């Protein structure tokens, strides 16, 4: 259990470099909107998952908090899909 918590904590610190890598991959695959959409969905799934894990660990997870993260991810999908397509 302790190793799992350390891995999750490490993943929280790696979110920014993973996001930067996703942006770079989006530029590399700029001619393929399907791959760009897959990259976007992967990063947003990671974003919501890490939010769920973080708030569960700190014991302040509420429906409102998760709804906020899901709405932000949905807004990112709408905005960035418009940019991709």
pTM: 0.76
Q: Which of 4, 79, 77 is nearest to 42 (CA)?
A: 77
Provide the domain limits for residue 43: 1-84
With contact defined as beta carbons under 8 Å apart, do 68 and 48 qualify? Answer: no
Instruction: Write down the H helix ranges in the chain.
Output: 2-13, 15-28, 33-57, 63-84
Domain count, the chain: 1
**What is the reported pLDDT for 4?**
60
The per-residue pLDDT for range 8-20, each reduced to its tens digit, is: 566 667 778 888 8
Average pLDDT over residues 55-65: 87
How much is the pLDDT for 2? Answer: 59
């Amino acid at each position: 259990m302790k190793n799992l918590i350390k891995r999750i904590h490490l993943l929280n610190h790696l979110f920014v470099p993973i996001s930067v890598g996703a942006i770079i991959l989006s530029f590399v695959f700029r001619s393929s909107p399907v791959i760009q959409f897959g990259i976007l969905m992967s990063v947003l799934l990671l974003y919501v998952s890490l939010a769920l894990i973080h708030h569960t660990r700190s014991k302040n997870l509420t429906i409102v908090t998760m709804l906020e993260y899901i709405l932000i991810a949905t807004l990112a999908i709408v905005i960035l899909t418009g940019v991709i397509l």
